[in-house]
Chain A
């Protein structure tokens, strides 16, 4: 899909950096409201019919050119990330659709309590907005992205009818659900942005191929190149691909004037705009703000609080995997999206930690990935075939996603030496797992084993900490009412620069214990609505 011809010398109303989950939602919303929108994206469009799951070597490609880890994928549009001082490695995709190209599309919502952790539990900060503020935007996003699920989950506030019935949980899901039921613990079918029926233009139902995290050939898994982007482009948004923004430019008064970027030929260009919306994700956004330093902004743009890049949250991940040796081909179906349990989501002082965690259930994998084993490889040598036979097709996992409270020392800074293919400083991550997070995971590992035992696992493997699991990038330009304690206000508008907005996971104040993307997109839609209603001054059409 290409954008219609636009005049590159015009001053656009709004320029968006990044065409991922949040950038797409803002582009569609603002262009539908009549703004002249341009988006600059360093990556490219993907052709779903060329995703590697159609090739016999798909499992090898997942380790290399289709890795979720940009340091392994190393495509020209990727930037390297220094992770030497990080306990977790960030993963992402750079292209139209952003990380939704590779995501699992498991789409729970934050709980009302996640917005009030200071008030309720005396930790971190409260958000300046509430669950109720976001609810209409969650609902709208569920419709556009296409949510399969079923209302009635007792662990969450009532929510509107889901647009599609749930993804069937299958035999493995039923086995775990039975175990949760017998333990008297909560479970509910996951909300997923995966089609359980045909939904959206040109998008088929999931055919249970089992490989969400390599792009979806069926277009059953929702990604923003399939829904928000076609709408945005229909409404006149100009999308420039293969172009890397290197700086947000400002005038003498300190207002944003547009961006400087490197075009696909490596030439330095400038695009003028009346407002800039940054949607480059929780690492790309602070990186760009820090890159945009100048005499007037020596610590980077929008950084009078000093909090740009600070308070990085990933969610901590661990898991337990059970072996169920009755060979029922457990690896079919979307990877991580059967059921979830939020029995231990809320704070219980008796447990020795604040906040909590969710369990997500995961199916087994293809033979190569089974042999590689994630945290526990199948051994090489004499025992190899016996162990492989025990595991392949016979595993079911509980993934643990733990709340990861913000700490200022967990951060994104600019690396002194490492650069991307354009010569721009790469981000450096500094991150350690806190004692509270560790206590959360330890509790969850013990309880998770009970579930697998109850379900009849013959053997249980424990992964105490997942390193390559930084899928959720949050907190590095957080929102708040106090300009000294936050980077943007409740509408995503920079406290320092009134025509600069941030709409990705950077603005999260806390992360909860659920995948963040429905919340990221709800925030993006809410900010777009604010601009539409309150910033008509930016509109020229």
Chain B
């Protein structure tokens, strides 16, 4: 469904899932809540998981009133009460986070999609076979 997701609540939870690091804000403060909602709409498994997770969290006011440890405790509680939905949601959140150019820059990674550029094929060096080639054939005759 993913109709009435409170983006403030989701953003607060995302900040606990992937907290700030170096000069990068947490996943929520980066504004990923909207992207998580929009991309979850494309696959009903994702949107069901998102709905379950958000509905299982405390209300927005109650969640934001908790301190960091309290928020982590609430997330851990839903992780154990709804493990399948939580893990799928977590996978979606992780994947979207690691699509962000700012995240790639911080990781010092090129961030390109695999194609069309690809990488460079190293040379084939036959000398690596030196030891294993010495072995006598040992396959079992049948």
Is A112's CB under 8 angstroms from B140's CB? yes
Central interface residue in B95, B114, B120, B141, by most chain A CB within 10 Å: B114
Residue B82 interfacial (CB < 8 Å)? no
Give, as a whole number of angstroms, the nearest-CB distance from A294 to chain B.
Answer: 37
Give, as a whole number of angstroms, the nearest-CB distance from A130 to chain B.
Answer: 7
Q: Which residues of A contact B94 (CB under 8 A)?
A: 368, 371-372, 377-378
Residue B80 interfacial (CB < 8 Å)? no
Give, as a whole number of angstroms, the nearest-CB distance from A252 to chain B.
Answer: 44
Residue A422 interfacial (CB < 8 Å)? no
Chain A minimum-CB-distance residue to B110: A329
Q: Which residues of A contact B19 (CB under 8 A)?
A: 381-382, 384-385
Is A207's CB under 8 angstroms from B119's CB? yes
Q: CB-defined interface of B113-140 with A at 8 Å, one 1/0 digit per residue?
A: 1111111111111101101110111111
Chain B minimum-CB-distance residue to A327: B108
Q: Once the chains are docked, how many angstroms separate the CA of A181 from the CA of B134?
A: 11
A115 touching B96 in the complex, CB below 8 Å, given contacts A208-B119, A381-B16: no
> How many residues of chain A get a CB closer than 8 Å to chain B's CBs?
75
Is A111's CB under 8 angstroms from B139's CB? yes
Q: Which residues of B contact A111 (CB under 8 A)?
A: 139-140, 142
Within 8 A of A (CB), among B43-89: 43, 45-46, 72, 75, 87
Is B131's CB under 8 angstroms from A371's CB? no
A368 touching B98 in the complex, CB below 8 Å, given contacts A54-B115, A209-B114, A381-B17: yes
Residue B29 interfacial (CB < 8 Å)? no
Q: CB-defined interface of A17-34 with B at 8 Å, one 1/0 digit per residue?
A: 000000000000000000
Q: Which residues of A contact B107 (CB under 8 A)?
A: 367, 389, 392
Q: Which residues of B contact A187 (CB under 8 A)?
A: 132
Q: Once the chains are docked, how many angstroms separate the CA of A56 from the CA of B117?
A: 13
Residue A247 interfacial (CB < 8 Å)? no
Contact of A174 (CB < 8 Å), options: B72, B104, B121, B128: B128
Chain A minimum-CB-distance residue to B115: A217
Is A55's CB under 8 angstroms from B113's CB? yes
Q: Which residues of B contact A206 (CB under 8 A)?
A: 121
Chain B minimum-CB-distance residue to A131: B142
Q: Once the chains are docked, how many angstroms separate the CA of A9 from the CA of B104?
A: 58
Contact of A385 (CB < 8 Å), options: B21, B123, B132, B140: B21
Q: Once the chains are docked, how many angstroms separate the CA of A59 from the CA of B92?
A: 10
Is B113's CB under 8 angstroms from A188's CB? no
Is A154's CB under 8 angstroms from B135's CB? yes
Is A168's CB under 8 angstroms from B118's CB? no
* Consensus secondary structure, chain B interface: loop
Residue B90 interfacial (CB < 8 Å)? yes
Q: CB-defined interface of A183-208 with B at 8 Å, one 1/0 digit per residue?
A: 00011110000001000000001111
Give, as a whole number of angstroms, the nearest-CB distance from A175 to chain B.
Answer: 11
Is A368's CB under 8 angstroms from B95's CB? yes
Q: Once the chains are docked, how many angstroms separate the CA of A131 from the CA of B96?
A: 48
Is A170's CB under 8 angstroms from B122's CB? yes
Is A177's CB under 8 angstroms from B135's CB? no
Q: Once the chains are docked, how many angstroms separate the CA of A370 from the CA of B72?
A: 23
Give, as a whole number of angstroms, the nearest-CB distance from B121 to chain A.
Answer: 5
Give, as a whole number of angstroms, the nearest-CB distance from A390 to chain B.
Answer: 12
Contact of A210 (CB < 8 Å), options: B72, B119, B123, B137: B119
Is B140's CB under 8 angstroms from A346's CB? yes
Residue A72 interfacial (CB < 8 Å)? yes
Give, as a whole number of angstroms, the nearest-CB distance from B67 to chain A.
Answer: 14
Residue B18 interfacial (CB < 8 Å)? yes
Q: Which residues of A contact B115 (CB under 8 A)?
A: 51, 53-54, 207, 209, 211, 217-218
Give, as a whole number of angstroms, the nearest-CB distance from A44 to chain B.
Answer: 20
Residue A79 interfacial (CB < 8 Å)? no
Q: Which residues of A contact B117 (CB under 8 A)?
A: 207
Residue A427 interfacial (CB < 8 Å)? no
Chain B minimum-CB-distance residue to A56: B113
Q: Once the chains are docked, how many angstroms separate the CA of A388 from the CA of B134?
A: 40
Q: Which residues of A contact B120 (CB under 8 A)?
A: 207-208
Q: Which residues of A contact B139 (CB under 8 A)?
A: 111-113, 154-157, 346
Residue B1 interfacial (CB < 8 Å)? no
Is B18's CB under 8 angstroms from A60's CB? no
Is A119's CB under 8 angstroms from B90's CB? no
Give, as a whole number of angstroms, the nearest-CB distance from A133 to chain B.
Answer: 12
Is A63's CB under 8 angstroms from B87's CB? no
Is B133's CB under 8 angstroms from A152's CB? yes
Residue A124 interfacial (CB < 8 Å)? no
Chain A minimum-CB-distance residue to B24: A385
Q: Which residues of A contact B142 (CB under 8 A)?
A: 111-113, 115-116, 119-120, 130-131
Q: Once the chains are docked, how many angstroms separate the CA of A381 from the CA of B26?
A: 10
Residue A325 interfacial (CB < 8 Å)? no
The 16 sampled A-B contact pairs (Cβ below 8 Å) are: A51-B115, A54-B114, A58-B114, A112-B141, A112-B142, A113-B141, A152-B133, A154-B138, A165-B124, A209-B118, A218-B118, A366-B98, A377-B91, A384-B18, A389-B107, A392-B109
Additional 10 contacts, C-beta under 8 A, given A154-B136, A168-B124 = A51-B115, A157-B139, A186-B132, A187-B132, A196-B121, A210-B119, A367-B109, A378-B94, A380-B75, A384-B19
In the A-B complex, the 7 residue pairs with the smallest Cβ-Cβ separation, listed nearest first, are: A207-B118, A209-B114, A368-B95, A367-B98, A371-B94, A217-B115, A208-B119
